[in-house]
A and B are shown apart, each in its own frame.
Chain A
Amino acid sequence: MTQSQSAYFLSDAQPPTRRHTLAVLVDNEPGVLARIAGMFSGRGYNIESLTVSETEHEKHVSRITIVTTGTEKTIEQIKTQLDRLVPVHRVVDLTVQGEALERELCLVKVRGKGDARVEALRLAGAFGARTLDATLNSFVFELTGTTEEVERFIRLMGVVGLVEVSRTGIAAMSRGAEGMLEAALPDGAQGR
């Protein structure tokens, strides 16, 4: 993670970092994802998870959910740097708004025979995963849950014959009645 942006920052002390989930509304125009990913890489910020999909087809607006970790100062910079990108309409920090709902979906393929196979099915049941495909020596499970649940599930599947994992990354939303477009804006942020 980057320190201060200044070349003159000589202190080695590191302030605490925190994980934030940002929801970003953008014009779904060519290159917009490259612009956002490029801003993160170019300025040395990290992306833990990024999901994107058009949410309002008529208006060509996409919602991007980004999970990133940084000091308070870095997170503020990330938000203002996102907000100044021309196709970005709105940046909302779901972590600041309170405990946001976060879910991701994973597909997991396991292969095995005998006890391992039975155990895999039992664990999937315990996690509430759905079985999407089964052969005599394999399963494909689907699990939706928090990142922690998904991680735990994948770790356990590792013991019973994990072959392949595919994850969607995080979809997130604040709790309560208020929509993200109604959230209060910081000074200078573009409510568009």
Chain B
Amino acid sequence: MSREMTGAEMVIQALIDQGVSTLFGYPGGAVLPIYDALFQQDSVKHVLVRHEQGAVHAAEGYARSSGKVGVVLVTSGPGATNAVTGLTDALLDSIPIVCFTGQVPTHLIGSDAFQEADTVGITRHCTKHNYLVKSIEDLPRVLHEAFYVAQNGRPGPVVIDIPKDIQFKSGKYEKPRDNQHKTYRPQIKGDLGKIKTAVEMIAKAKRPVFYTGGGVINSGPHAAALLRELVRATGYPITSTLMGLGAYPANDPQWLGMLGMHGTYEANLAMHGCDLMVNIGARFDDRITGRIDAFSPGSKKIHIDIDPSSINKNVKVDLGIVGDCAHVLEDMVRLWKDVAGEVDKPAQKAWWLQIDGWRARKSLAYRNATDVIKPQYALERLEALTQGRKRFITTEVGQHQMWAAQYLHFDEPNRWMTSGGLGTMGYGLPAAVGVQLAHPKDLVVCVAGEASVLMNMQEMSTAAQYRLPIKIFILNNEYMGMVRQWQELLHGGRYSESYSAALPDFVKLAEAYHAKGIRCDDPAKLDAAIMEMIDYPGPVIFDCLVAKEENCFPMIPSGKAHNEMILPDFEGDTGEIIDAKGKQLV
């Protein structure tokens, strides 16, 4: 069935047909026809952000917490360029986004027209795919194709650049079909022979470890359920990357905590000492591997990933399985039953004994204080006081982000939203806006740093306008703490430009944004203050004044191997840990 309508109307109709109920945007000259079409309907809710970067991060939060595609609408030129950081963030973290950008009319393209930018050129490197629509006949296909490409295979952001004259033109609209792209067909099912080999390798191993990542979250809640089934059936330990937290419950005895640069001692040593590594939907990022030539030297490695380019990219593996996590895990769970009897029980017991020894090292222990709030303590209290609630956490970027990953517990997928790959300061607050829109009744907390949160502070206006009760929990150490820590470790404690000078009064700032401001600097009063935040029915900015020079440990210093971690009880000169070669690394 096809109907005659304008390009602008097609955009709205496609959103409806794709099941989109919310989009994040900011108007301008080149998208006025689409805004006019929005005005004349009420199926799709438009959320007016205060900066286009905020729109993309909000859409990311919305997408990651709901499993749907996040949708963005911005104008040409500055609207599109402002969106670039968000698009890059979504690309690196594999978040499905469809972003509409307005463009100058087709006959003006290339003439340096008002608010013209080469949007497809600029965003080619920060999208999974992008389109410039030059004829109304192409528009319906491109609209649906974009949603298909954004969600299928490895998810990512897709830009559709629509010149203004195309928005006005009339044409025939077509409904979406299955397999919308004519040739793009990512492999979903894994090779059964290889999956069989994989379960046999697991059954035969003496010291295996599951290393899981964001791909399990991308694959959906069903993948997380199957992962739990498989891991419990095998009885072996599991760790996850920052991006995969929540796929496996943190309260489970087989859970080792996060791995990597700021991961736990037990997770990293299990990775280092295992004889079989089972990577499910993670990408051997450098925050995980540390020195490649010293990375888990004695293990065989299996890698399950939907993107063939992830396999053997950084680390050569013994068995690569291309496919979607849920599909491959389903086969693994089924096939495991045939080989379960072969597990070497004494070896398994010995492996756990060794791991328990590492656990006993208590790598997340810290020295608490009574005169000042330790950031770790603040998060432990936040965890304790929100346990049992349906709680969503977003973060900004820095030490507070790592502490949140270490001290908050995630028992369900899609409850943890953070900028991992790009590490974008300014992500957390707008992401919280998006999460709250997807989950209006649930508790949404953004764990923030005082520096990061200022980067998209303007989105508090959005929270106020839509009455979104987001809680911005700032661990205010008056430093760009992560930068300060690296300067302590690498640059002789010369804190060049990393002090957060002239900070705003966050309580007054909250009030200026029609929100509630809370400040706390006393560990004894912290619980009551956190409860006040949780109980308040509107948005809150919580200025939690914490110890200023706390370091985030454990840490694998740059250029070192997993078994060379610095632990919290490190006594010595932190300036001596990293050698000259390590200092060149990021």
Contact = CB atoms under 8 A, between A and B. Distances in A.
B319 to A, nearest CB: 11
B501 interface: no
A189 interface: yes
A6 B186 contact: no
A86 interface: yes
Interface stretch (A77-85, A108-116, A141-149): A77-85
A18 interface: no
Nearest to A89: B183
Interface in B281-305: 286, 289-293
A77 B309 contact: yes
A143 to B, nearest CB: 37
A19 interface: no
Nearest to B186: A190
B121 A7 contact: no
Interface string A1-34: 0001111111100000000000000010011001
B523 interface: no
Contact of A188 (B291, B308, B585): B308
A6 B289 contact: yes
A192 B293 contact: no
Contacts of A76: 312
B511 interface: no
A6 B125 contact: no
Given A5-B313, A7-B586, A83-B308, A38 B184 contact: no
B439 to A, nearest CB: 32
Contacts of A7: 286, 585-586
Contact of B585 (A8, A11, A34, A80): A8
B423 to A, nearest CB: 14
Contacts of A38: 124-125
B585 A187 contact: no
A192 B559 contact: no
A27 B322 CA distance: 24
Interface in A129-166: none
B204 to A, nearest CB: 23
Contacts of B308: 80, 83-84, 186-189
Contacts of A31: 120, 124, 132
Contacts, number: 87
A42 interface: yes
A175 interface: no
Interface in B191-208: 191, 194
Secondary structure class of chain A's binding surface, majority of residues = loop
A7 B582 CA distance: 10
A35 interface: yes
Interface string A51-87: 0000000000000000000000100110011011011
B322 A187 contact: yes
Interface string B369-403: 00000000000000000000000000000000000
B237 interface: no
Contacts of B128: 86
A8 B290 contact: yes
A30 B130 CA distance: 11
Nearest to B149: A86
A10 B561 CA distance: 12
B134 to A, nearest CB: 8
Nearest to A190: B185
A187 B291 contact: no
B309 A9 contact: no
B345 interface: no
B293 to A, nearest CB: 6
A190 B154 CA distance: 14
A86 B129 contact: yes
A73 B316 contact: yes
Contacts of A188: 187, 307-308, 311, 322-323
Nearest to B586: A7
B246 interface: no
A6 B286 contact: yes
B120 A6 contact: no
Contacts of A27: 183
Contact of A81 (B181, B191, B309): B309
Contacts of B367: none
Contacts of B3: none
A97 B322 CA distance: 23
B581 interface: yes
Nearest to A191: B185
Contacts of B321: 187
A33 B194 CA distance: 35
B316 A190 contact: no
Contact of B312 (A9, A73, A86): A73
Contacts of A81: 309
Contacts of B449: none
B124 A34 contact: yes
A185 to B, nearest CB: 10
Contacts of A190: 183-187
A76 B558 CA distance: 28
A86 B316 contact: no
B314 interface: yes
Given A31-B132, A76-B312, A89-B183, 18 more contacts: A5-B313, A6-B292, A6-B314, A7-B586, A8-B559, A10-B291, A30-B134, A35-B124, A80-B308, A81-B309, A84-B307, A186-B308, A187-B191, A187-B194, A187-B322, A188-B187, A190-B183, A190-B185
Interface of B: 120-121, 124-125, 128-129, 132, 134, 149, 153-154, 181, 183-187, 191, 194, 286, 289-293, 307-309, 311-314, 316, 320-323, 558-559, 581, 585-586
Enumerate the 3 nearest inter-chain pairs by beta-carbon distance, A residue then B residue, closest first.
Answer: A188-B322, A188-B308, A80-B309
14 contacts: A4-B292, A5-B314, A10-B293, A30-B134, A77-B309, A80-B308, A84-B307, A86-B129, A86-B184, A186-B308, A187-B308, A187-B322, A188-B323, A190-B184
Interface of A: 4-11, 27, 30-31, 34-35, 38, 42, 73, 76-77, 80-81, 83-84, 86-87, 89, 186-190, 192
